[in-house]
Amino acid sequence: MNIEEFREFCLSKKGVIEELPFGPDTLVYKVAGKMFALISLDTEEFKVTLKCEPNFSSELREQFVYIVGAFHMNKKHWNTVNGDFAPTKQLIELTNHSYEVVVEGLPKKIKLELDSL
């Protein structure tokens, strides 16, 4: 999966918007105003930072060398995945997990609004 395919995948999810809130070097994907994926644009490598359930997060880092704790983020909840090495299927699964973790934490009213999209 390359950055354009990843971008299309994220934007195909319900209620997702794309922003550059941290400047031109970091592309951010949000659902209901909450971040679930970040892409660094200032590197040649395709790296994606994704939210993750804490126990699963550390398990992934132990299992895969291309998954590390996210720089400048709470490493308990965020991992950076090197998309140049991660299998496409795994990157999709981890992105879906990130999206679901964020949606799960939304207030019931917002979840209902999201479901109606």
Nearest CA to 98 out of 4, 3, 23, 9 is that of: 9
Number of other CB atoms surrounding residue 84 within 10 Å: 12
**Domain tally for the chain?**
1
Q: What is the DSSP letter of 106?
A: S
Q: What is the pLDDT of residue 116?
A: 87
Q: What is the pLDDT of residue 72?
A: 84
Q: What is the pLDDT of residue 71?
A: 85
Domain containing residue 75: CATH number: 3.90.1150.30
What is the pLDDT tens value at each position of the chain, 117 positions in all?
899 999 999 999 999 999 999 999 999 999 999 999 999 998 889 999 999 999 999 899 999 999 999 988 888 899 999 998 999 999 999 999 999 999 999 999 999 999 888
Identify the domain containing residue 46 by its residue range: 3-115
CA dihedral 104→51→93→37, nearest 10 degrees, is 110
Provide the sign of the torsion angle of the four alpha carbons 92, 94, 95, 99, taken in this order.
positive
Q: What is the pLDDT of residue 73?
A: 87
Prediction pTM value: 0.93
